[in-house]
Chains A and B, each alone.
Chain A
């Protein structure tokens, strides 16, 4: 029972590079979301989705894109990485929007 799987676990990017953080869940949850966790800032919502084909912005969406072509997958794309995007990224799925099942996180460093 995998739950929410995030890849990669660690990533180092140079400023300006692009990449995609992968997130997959096998619980058939309609709701999925991406958060970033920074020291002293707690968790901040980047984007979320209430079902395949539906996405919406959270608190800090700038610099990130998402898509939801299937129920299982919710990738997060960094278009042009900046040092301010250095953070730990968590993907979560939920059967109801608030009982969040989190992945193990991706630690991203942008130099």
Chain B
């Protein structure tokens, strides 16, 4: 069965600190996708990144970076120089790869609430 664990329920940092959100996943599939989403206080879910299981290169997008390590089944998310606007709940998600019909069954972790204090 697929499972995503975000052990950190809530993290509080002071603005400009770096923060890493952990994500550990379980799957029997050899081909799968991993995702991160942000849910700000307004409630909508914002897609941040998708990574397939064959691509273990780390990715950086501005202040965001992601570290995918298949050996430890982890897909961690780091925010550098955090800002108050980064305050949100962040979800990690996993999906098996369905090449034929793109029917992604996203399995979400329980989320990590990040509070960035001024």
Q: Are B35 and A98 in contact (CB under 8 A)?
A: yes
Q: Are B43 and A50 in contact (CB under 8 A)?
A: no
Given A48-B105, A97-B102, answer yes or no on A42-B43 (Cβ-Cβ < 8 Å). no
Q: Are B110 and A42 in contact (CB under 8 A)?
A: yes
Q: Are A59 and B107 in contact (CB under 8 A)?
A: yes
List chain A residues, Cβ under 8 A from B108: 35, 42-45
The closest CB in chain A to the CB of B50 belongs to A98
For window 72-118 of B, CB contacts with A under 8 Å fall at 91, 95, 101-111
Q: Are A98 and B110 in contact (CB under 8 A)?
A: no
Cross-chain pair count, CB within 8 angstroms: 60
Most A CB within 10 A of own CB, among B6, B43, B102, B106: B106
Complex Cα–Cα for A50 and B104 (A): 9
User: Contacting B45 at CB < 8 Å: which of A56, A97, A100?
Assistant: A100
- Fill in one digit per residue for A25-49: 1 if any B CB lies within 8 Å of its CB, else 0: 0000001010100001111110010
Question: How extensive is the interface on chain A, given as a class?
Answer: 20 to 34
Q: Is B33 an interface residue (CB 8 A)?
A: yes
Give chain B nearest CB distance to A53 CB in angstroms.
13
Q: Are B103 and A96 in contact (CB under 8 A)?
A: no
Q: Is B55 an interface residue (CB 8 A)?
A: no
Complex Cα–Cα for A90 and B45 (A): 10
Q: Are A98 and B107 in contact (CB under 8 A)?
A: no
Q: Are A42 and B109 in contact (CB under 8 A)?
A: yes
Give chain A nearest CB distance to B37 CB in angstroms.
8
Give chain A nearest CB distance to B61 CB in angstroms.
15
* Cβ contacts A to B, 28 pairs, < 8 Å: A31-B102, A31-B103, A31-B104, A33-B106, A35-B108, A40-B110, A42-B4, A42-B91, A42-B109, A42-B110, A43-B106, A43-B108, A45-B105, A45-B108, A50-B102, A56-B103, A59-B107, A92-B45, A94-B104, A97-B102, A98-B33, A98-B47, A98-B104, A99-B47, A100-B45, A102-B43, A104-B43, A105-B43
